[in-house]
Protein backbone atom coordinates (compact mmCIF):
# COMPACT_ATOMS: atom_id res chain seq x y z
CA UNK A 1 0.00 0.00 0.00
CA UNK A 2 1.43 3.35 -1.08
CA UNK A 3 0.89 6.79 0.41
CA UNK A 4 -1.62 7.76 -2.29
CA UNK A 5 -3.78 4.74 -1.38
CA UNK A 6 -3.55 5.59 2.32
CA UNK A 7 -4.66 9.14 1.66
CA UNK A 8 -7.60 7.95 -0.43
CA UNK A 9 -8.79 5.52 2.23
CA UNK A 10 -8.46 8.03 5.04
CA UNK A 11 -9.91 10.97 3.11
CA UNK A 12 -12.94 8.92 2.08
CA UNK A 13 -14.27 9.38 5.60
CA UNK A 14 -14.26 5.64 6.21
CA UNK A 15 -11.59 5.97 8.90
CA UNK A 16 -10.57 8.98 10.96
CA UNK A 17 -7.26 8.75 12.78
CA UNK A 18 -7.33 8.62 16.57
CA UNK A 19 -4.43 10.49 18.16
CA UNK A 20 -4.68 8.59 21.46
CA UNK A 21 -3.92 5.34 19.62
CA UNK A 22 -0.73 6.76 18.10
CA UNK A 23 -1.88 6.09 14.57
CA UNK A 24 1.05 7.10 12.37
CA UNK A 25 1.19 4.65 9.48
CA UNK A 26 4.52 3.75 7.89
CA UNK A 27 4.10 3.96 4.13
CA UNK A 28 7.64 4.16 2.73
CA UNK A 29 8.16 0.96 0.74
CA UNK A 30 11.94 0.97 1.14
CA UNK A 31 11.68 1.18 4.92
CA UNK A 32 9.00 -1.51 5.01
CA UNK A 33 11.24 -3.84 2.99
CA UNK A 34 14.18 -3.10 5.31
CA UNK A 35 12.06 -4.15 8.29
CA UNK A 36 10.96 -7.40 6.66
CA UNK A 37 14.50 -8.15 5.48
CA UNK A 38 15.76 -7.65 9.05
CA UNK A 39 13.27 -10.29 10.23
CA UNK A 40 14.93 -12.89 7.95
CA UNK A 41 11.60 -14.58 7.28
CA UNK A 42 11.10 -18.02 5.77
CA UNK A 43 7.90 -19.65 4.54
CA UNK A 44 7.69 -21.66 7.76
CA UNK A 45 7.96 -18.73 10.18
CA UNK A 46 5.20 -17.73 12.57
CA UNK A 47 4.96 -13.94 12.87
CA UNK A 48 3.20 -11.77 15.43
CA UNK A 49 2.33 -8.27 14.21
CA UNK A 50 0.96 -5.72 16.66
CA UNK A 51 -0.83 -2.65 15.31
CA UNK A 52 -1.09 -3.48 11.58
CA UNK A 53 -3.01 -0.27 10.87
CA UNK A 54 -3.91 -0.19 7.18
CA UNK A 55 -1.78 -3.25 6.48
CA UNK A 56 1.28 -2.13 4.45
CA UNK A 57 3.64 -4.22 6.56
CA UNK A 58 1.09 -7.03 6.87
CA UNK A 59 1.05 -7.43 3.08
CA UNK A 60 4.78 -8.08 3.03
CA UNK A 61 4.64 -10.40 6.02
CA UNK A 62 1.95 -12.68 4.61
CA UNK A 63 3.91 -12.87 1.35
CA UNK A 64 7.05 -14.15 3.08
CA UNK A 65 6.02 -15.90 6.31
CA UNK A 66 4.18 -19.14 6.94
CA UNK A 67 1.56 -17.70 9.26
CA UNK A 68 0.84 -14.19 10.56
CA UNK A 69 -1.12 -13.29 13.68
CA UNK A 70 -2.03 -9.58 13.55
CA UNK A 71 -3.61 -7.83 16.55
CA UNK A 72 -5.33 -4.48 15.99
CA UNK A 73 -7.15 -2.49 18.66
CA UNK A 74 -9.10 -0.13 16.38
CA UNK A 75 -12.25 -1.93 15.28
CA UNK A 76 -12.57 0.26 12.18
CA UNK A 77 -9.15 -0.90 11.00
CA UNK A 78 -9.99 -4.51 11.77
CA UNK A 79 -13.09 -4.25 9.57
CA UNK A 80 -11.05 -2.61 6.80
CA UNK A 81 -8.29 -5.25 6.97
CA UNK A 82 -10.77 -8.12 6.87
CA UNK A 83 -11.90 -6.83 3.47
CA UNK A 84 -8.55 -5.57 2.19
CA UNK A 85 -6.70 -8.82 3.00
CA UNK A 86 -9.63 -11.18 2.57
CA UNK A 87 -7.71 -13.53 0.27
CA UNK A 88 -4.79 -14.05 2.68
CA UNK A 89 -5.18 -17.64 3.85
CA UNK A 90 -2.19 -17.48 6.23
CA UNK A 91 -3.42 -14.43 8.20
CA UNK A 92 -5.28 -14.49 11.51
CA UNK A 93 -6.59 -11.05 12.43
CA UNK A 94 -7.67 -10.31 16.00
CA UNK A 95 -9.52 -7.22 17.17
CA UNK A 96 -8.04 -6.79 20.62
CA UNK A 97 -5.78 -4.70 22.83
CA UNK A 98 -2.38 -6.33 22.24
CA UNK A 99 -1.03 -5.66 25.72
CA UNK A 100 -4.15 -7.12 27.31
CA UNK A 101 -3.96 -10.09 24.94
CA UNK A 102 -0.36 -11.09 25.72
CA UNK A 103 -1.09 -10.76 29.45
CA UNK A 104 -4.38 -12.62 29.24
CA UNK A 105 -3.40 -15.36 26.80
CA UNK A 106 -0.07 -16.85 27.90
CA UNK A 107 1.30 -18.99 25.09
CA UNK A 108 4.49 -20.50 23.77
CA UNK A 109 6.11 -17.79 21.63
CA UNK A 110 9.43 -19.65 21.30
CA UNK A 111 9.12 -20.27 17.55
CA UNK A 112 7.58 -16.90 16.76
CA UNK A 113 9.02 -13.63 15.50
CA UNK A 114 7.57 -10.26 16.48
CA UNK A 115 7.66 -7.91 13.48
CA UNK A 116 5.71 -4.71 13.94
CA UNK A 117 5.42 -0.96 13.86
CA UNK A 118 4.45 -0.77 17.51
CA UNK A 119 2.03 1.84 18.87
CA UNK A 120 4.51 4.14 20.61
CA UNK A 121 2.38 4.66 23.72
CA UNK A 122 2.50 0.97 24.67
CA UNK A 123 5.69 -0.21 22.98
CA UNK A 124 7.79 -0.64 26.15
CA UNK A 125 5.23 -2.59 28.22
CA UNK A 126 4.43 -4.89 25.28
CA UNK A 127 8.12 -5.65 24.73
CA UNK A 128 8.78 -6.30 28.41
CA UNK A 129 5.69 -8.53 28.67
CA UNK A 130 6.84 -10.67 25.75
CA UNK A 131 10.46 -10.74 26.93
CA UNK A 132 9.35 -11.98 30.35
CA UNK A 133 7.18 -14.74 28.94
CA UNK A 134 8.42 -18.22 29.82
CA UNK A 135 8.87 -18.86 26.09
CA UNK A 136 9.64 -15.53 24.42
CA UNK A 137 9.86 -14.82 20.66
CA UNK A 138 13.08 -15.85 18.92
CA UNK A 139 13.49 -12.50 17.14
CA UNK A 140 12.03 -9.04 17.64
CA UNK A 141 12.05 -6.50 14.81
CA UNK A 142 10.09 -3.41 15.80
CA UNK A 143 9.72 0.21 14.83
CA UNK A 144 9.33 2.53 17.79
CA UNK A 145 10.28 5.92 19.15
CA UNK A 146 14.01 6.62 18.75
CA UNK A 147 14.30 7.43 22.44
CA UNK A 148 12.99 3.96 23.34
CA UNK A 149 15.21 2.33 20.71
CA UNK A 150 18.27 3.90 22.31
CA UNK A 151 17.25 2.52 25.69
CA UNK A 152 16.87 -0.96 24.20
CA UNK A 153 20.36 -0.77 22.69
CA UNK A 154 22.12 0.97 25.60
CA UNK A 155 25.16 -0.45 27.37
CA UNK A 156 26.66 0.18 30.79
CA UNK A 157 27.34 3.86 31.51
CA UNK A 158 25.36 5.09 28.47
CA UNK A 159 22.95 7.93 29.23
CA UNK A 160 20.04 5.75 28.07
CA UNK A 161 21.08 2.67 30.08
CA UNK A 162 18.46 1.73 32.63
CA UNK A 163 15.58 -0.53 33.61
CA UNK A 164 14.25 -1.14 30.08
CA UNK A 165 17.76 -1.90 28.78
CA UNK A 166 18.30 -4.56 31.44
CA UNK A 167 14.83 -6.14 31.39
CA UNK A 168 15.07 -6.65 27.62
CA UNK A 169 18.74 -7.58 27.39
CA UNK A 170 18.37 -10.28 30.03
CA UNK A 171 16.67 -12.34 27.30
CA UNK A 172 17.80 -10.58 24.11
CA UNK A 173 20.96 -9.38 22.44
CA UNK A 174 20.56 -6.09 20.50
CA UNK A 175 21.80 -6.77 16.99
CA UNK A 176 21.09 -3.72 14.87
CA UNK A 177 18.99 -0.60 14.46
CA UNK A 178 18.30 2.01 11.81
CA UNK A 179 16.54 5.37 11.92
CA UNK A 180 13.32 6.03 10.01
CA UNK A 181 12.56 9.69 9.14
CA UNK A 182 9.18 11.19 10.15
CA UNK A 183 8.22 11.79 6.51
CA UNK A 184 8.08 8.00 6.00
CA UNK A 185 4.89 7.98 8.09
CA UNK A 186 1.41 9.37 7.53
CA UNK A 187 0.76 11.58 9.28
CA UNK A 188 4.40 12.34 10.22
CA UNK A 189 4.96 11.85 13.97
CA UNK A 190 6.40 14.59 16.17
CA UNK A 191 9.23 12.29 17.29
CA UNK A 192 12.07 10.46 15.55
CA UNK A 193 11.69 6.73 14.97
CA UNK A 194 13.94 3.71 14.60
CA UNK A 195 13.69 0.02 13.83
CA UNK A 196 15.46 -2.26 16.33
CA UNK A 197 16.50 -5.90 15.87
CA UNK A 198 16.76 -8.07 19.00
CA UNK A 199 17.84 -11.72 18.98
CA UNK A 200 16.93 -14.11 21.78
CA UNK A 201 19.98 -15.32 23.70
CA UNK A 202 20.96 -18.91 23.01
CA UNK A 203 22.27 -19.30 26.57
CA UNK A 204 20.06 -17.68 29.24
CA UNK A 205 21.86 -15.49 31.77
CA UNK A 206 19.46 -16.62 34.50
CA UNK A 207 16.87 -19.38 34.88
CA UNK A 208 13.30 -18.19 34.39
CA UNK A 209 12.40 -18.58 38.05
CA UNK A 210 15.04 -15.96 38.97
CA UNK A 211 13.69 -13.31 36.59
CA UNK A 212 11.30 -11.74 39.14
CA UNK A 213 14.21 -11.28 41.56
CA UNK A 214 16.29 -9.73 38.76
CA UNK A 215 13.49 -7.29 37.93
CA UNK A 216 13.04 -6.36 41.57
CA UNK A 217 16.78 -5.78 41.96
CA UNK A 218 17.07 -3.67 38.81
CA UNK A 219 14.03 -1.49 39.52
CA UNK A 220 15.16 -0.74 43.06
CA UNK A 221 18.73 -0.03 41.92
CA UNK A 222 17.52 2.56 39.41
CA UNK A 223 14.76 4.00 41.61
CA UNK A 224 16.97 7.00 42.40
CA UNK A 225 19.76 7.21 39.85
CA UNK A 226 21.87 9.71 41.78
CA UNK A 227 22.00 7.52 44.88
CA UNK A 228 24.50 4.76 45.59
CA UNK A 229 23.06 1.40 44.68
CA UNK A 230 24.04 -0.26 47.96
CA UNK A 231 22.02 2.26 49.98
CA UNK A 232 18.95 1.69 47.82
CA UNK A 233 19.18 -2.09 48.10
CA UNK A 234 19.43 -1.97 51.91
CA UNK A 235 15.67 -1.45 51.96
CA UNK A 236 15.10 -5.05 50.84
CA UNK A 237 18.26 -7.00 51.74
CA UNK A 238 20.48 -7.21 54.86
CA UNK A 239 23.51 -4.97 54.59
CA UNK A 240 25.86 -7.83 55.50
CA UNK A 241 24.60 -9.93 52.60
CA UNK A 242 24.82 -7.00 50.20
CA UNK A 243 28.34 -6.10 51.30
CA UNK A 244 29.53 -9.68 50.84
CA UNK A 245 27.95 -9.91 47.37
CA UNK A 246 29.41 -6.57 46.28
CA UNK A 247 32.85 -7.65 47.45
CA UNK A 248 32.59 -10.96 45.61
CA UNK A 249 31.73 -9.13 42.38
CA UNK A 250 34.35 -6.42 42.88
CA UNK A 251 31.71 -3.68 43.09
CA UNK A 252 32.49 -0.55 45.06
CA UNK A 253 30.04 0.26 47.90
CA UNK A 254 29.74 3.72 46.31
CA UNK A 255 28.85 2.46 42.82
CA UNK A 256 25.70 3.70 41.09
CA UNK A 257 23.43 1.44 39.05
CA UNK A 258 24.40 2.85 35.63
CA UNK A 259 27.96 1.58 36.19
CA UNK A 260 26.86 -2.02 36.81
CA UNK A 261 26.74 -4.33 33.79
CA UNK A 262 23.97 -6.73 32.81
CA UNK A 263 26.17 -9.69 33.70
CA UNK A 264 26.93 -8.20 37.13
CA UNK A 265 23.23 -7.65 37.80
CA UNK A 266 22.56 -11.29 36.85
CA UNK A 267 25.34 -12.55 39.12
CA UNK A 268 24.15 -10.29 41.94
CA UNK A 269 20.67 -11.77 41.56
CA UNK A 270 22.11 -15.26 42.08
CA UNK A 271 24.11 -14.21 45.13
CA UNK A 272 21.22 -12.41 46.81
CA UNK A 273 18.77 -15.23 46.20
CA UNK A 274 20.94 -17.80 47.96
CA UNK A 275 20.01 -18.49 51.56
Residue finishing a domain among 174, 200, 226: 200
Q: What is the pLDDT along the chain (275 residues), one digit of tens a residue?
A: 778 888 777 776 566 666 555 578 999 999 999 999 999 999 999 999 999 999 999 999 999 999 999 999 999 899 999 999 999 999 999 999 999 999 998 899 999 999 999 998 899 999 999 999 989 999 999 999 999 999 999 999 899 999 999 999 999 999 999 999 999 998 898 899 999 999 999 999 999 999 999 999 999 999 998 899 999 999 999 999 999 999 999 999 999 999 999 999 999 999 998 75
19 and 151, same domain (yes or no): yes
Total domain count, the chain? 2
168 and 84, same domain (yes or no): yes
Per-residue confidence (pLDDT) for residue 19, from 0 to 100 = 56
21 and 83, same domain (yes or no): yes
Is 193 in contact with 179 (CB distance < 8 Å)? yes
216 and 180, same domain (yes or no): no
163 and 222, same domain (yes or no): no
Residue finishing a domain among 152, 176, 200: 200
110 and 140, same domain (yes or no): yes
Which CATH number characterizes residue 8's domain?
3.40.50.150
155 and 35, same domain (yes or no): yes
227 and 147, same domain (yes or no): no
Residue finishing a domain among 182, 200, 218: 200
Closest to 210 measured CA to CA, from 138, 265, 151: 265
172 and 192, same domain (yes or no): yes
Is 129 in contact with 118 (CB distance < 8 Å)? no
179 and 217, same domain (yes or no): no
115 and 181, same domain (yes or no): yes
What is the three-state SS of the chain? Answer: CCHHHHHHHHHCCCCCCCHHHCCCEECCHHHHHHHHHHHCCCCCCEEEEECCCCCHHHHHHHHHCCEEEEEECCHHHHHHHHHHCCCCCCEEEEECCHHHHHHHCCCCCCCEEEEEECCHHHHHHHHHHHHCCCCCCCEEEEEEEHHHHHHHHCCCCCCCCCHHHHHHHCCEEEEEEEEECHHHEECCCCCCEEEEEEEECCCCCCCHHHHHHHHHHHHHHCCCCCCCHHHHHCCCCCHHHHHHHHHHHCCCCCCCHHHCCHHHHHHHHHHHHCC
Which CATH number characterizes residue 233's domain?
1.10.8.100
Per-residue confidence (pLDDT) for residue 216, from 0 to 100 = 97
Domain, as residue range, for 230:
208-273
Closest to 195 measured CA to CA, from 57, 86, 17, 100: 57
112 and 133, same domain (yes or no): yes
Amino acid sequence: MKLTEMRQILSSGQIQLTKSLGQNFLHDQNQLRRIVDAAELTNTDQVLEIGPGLGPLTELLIARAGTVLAIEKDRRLVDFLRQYLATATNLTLLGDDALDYVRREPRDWANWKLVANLPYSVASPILVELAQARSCPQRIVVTLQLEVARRLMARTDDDDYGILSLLMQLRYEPQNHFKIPPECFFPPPDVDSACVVLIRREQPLLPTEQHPMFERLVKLSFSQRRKMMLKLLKRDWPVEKLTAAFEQLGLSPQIRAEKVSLEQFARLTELLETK
